[in-house]
């Protein structure tokens, strides 16, 4: 089976730099994948992407060594299984607030006897290889998003769920839940304290921690803190920022 480069990076204690895809287009996904991201996450939650757009985007990413990841809209077994069957090598699930939520996530993303994932890797066999069914459980990466005050209260119970590989912090939702302003980077002190607490508890449980970022300096600082999966930049934001830079330069001239 094709190795999962995320697991290889983490085994070497290196951070993966993840890009974000919100535009429903195979060509834009291909362009992003050829820039050298360690992984790219197709966002089915807040991106304007449906399943019909997802599949060609995963096909485009597979022209490179970039690891294809999908953020599903919710803790829904059907969508989790379809994303994996389409060839995602990692799934990020939002709003995991309890140990029961985390257990369901693990069950939905693993074949028996570890879980209840239905068998039908229609494209995953093509991407992962003919022995995909034998090695998928140990290769796929499952992320639980920690982004609420309730999840903070249940953090150690969530992190202790066997089979949960990683957690992913959504700083904006976490900040909102704590009564702070919803931002990626310059979070309020209360949110920053929560982020550092989540990182420390994840490390104690041997679970990889990831987080969403807006700026490279913030992402680097969070890598120094211990995060090993840092998202930096979406296709939509990069398109807007690049256009603004060009237009600003022209208008100054």
Instruction: Verify cis geometry, omega within 30 degrees of 0, for the bond prior to 113.
Output: yes
Nearest to 145 by CA among 161, 168, 162, 178: 168
Closest CA to 20 of 210, 200, 238: 238
Catalytic-labelled residue, pool 46, 107, 110, 212: 46
Query: Distances in Å between the alpha carbon of 59 and those of 42, 127, 192?
Result: 12, 9, 37
Size of the chain, expressed as the number of residues it contains? 253
The conformation of residue 19, written as its DSSP 8-state character, comes to E
Q: E strands, the chain, where?
A: 16-21, 39-43, 67-71, 90-93, 141-146, 166-169, 208-213, 229-234
Task: Record the tokens describing residue 40, joined without a space.
Answer: 């790219």
Q: How far is residue 148's CA from residue 162's CA, in Å, rounded to a whole number?
A: 21
Verify whether residue 46 is a known catalytic residue: yes
For residue 70, give every residue at least 6 positions away whose Cβ sits within 8 Å of its Cβ, in sequence order, or none.
41, 42, 44, 54, 58, 83, 86, 88, 90, 91, 92
Residues marked active site are found at 46
């Amino acid at each position: 089976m094709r190795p999962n480069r995320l697991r290889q990076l983490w085994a070497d204690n290196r951070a993966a730099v993840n890009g974000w895809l919100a535009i429903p287009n195979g060509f834009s996904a291909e362009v992003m994948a050829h820039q050298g991201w360690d992984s790219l996450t197709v966002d089915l939650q807040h991106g304007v992407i449906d399943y019909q757009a997802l599949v060609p985007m995963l096909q485009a990413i597979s022209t490179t060594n970039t690891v294809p990841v999908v953020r599903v809209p919710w803790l829904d077994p059907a969508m989790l299984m379809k994303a994996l069957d389409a060839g995602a090598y990692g799934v990020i699930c939002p709003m995991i607030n309890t140990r029961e939520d985390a257990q369901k996530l693990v069950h939905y993303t693993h074949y028996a006897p570890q879980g209840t994932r239905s068998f039908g890797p229609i494209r995953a066999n093509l991407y992962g290889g003919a022995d995909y069914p034998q090695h998928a459980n140990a290769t796929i990466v499952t992320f639980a998003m920690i982004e609420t005050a309730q999840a903070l209260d249940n953090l150690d119970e969530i992190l202790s769920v066997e089979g949960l590989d990683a957690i992913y912090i959504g700083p904006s939702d976490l900040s909102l839940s704590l009564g702070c302003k919803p931002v990626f980077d310059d979070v309020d002190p209360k949110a920053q304290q929560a982020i550092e607490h989540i990182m420390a508890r994840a490390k104690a449980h041997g679970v990889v921690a990831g987080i969403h970022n807006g700026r490279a300096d913030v992402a680097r600082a969070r890598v120094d803190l211990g995060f090993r999966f840092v998202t930096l930049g979406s296709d939509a934001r990069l398109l807007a920022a690049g256009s603004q830079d060009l237009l600003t330069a022209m208008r100054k001239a």
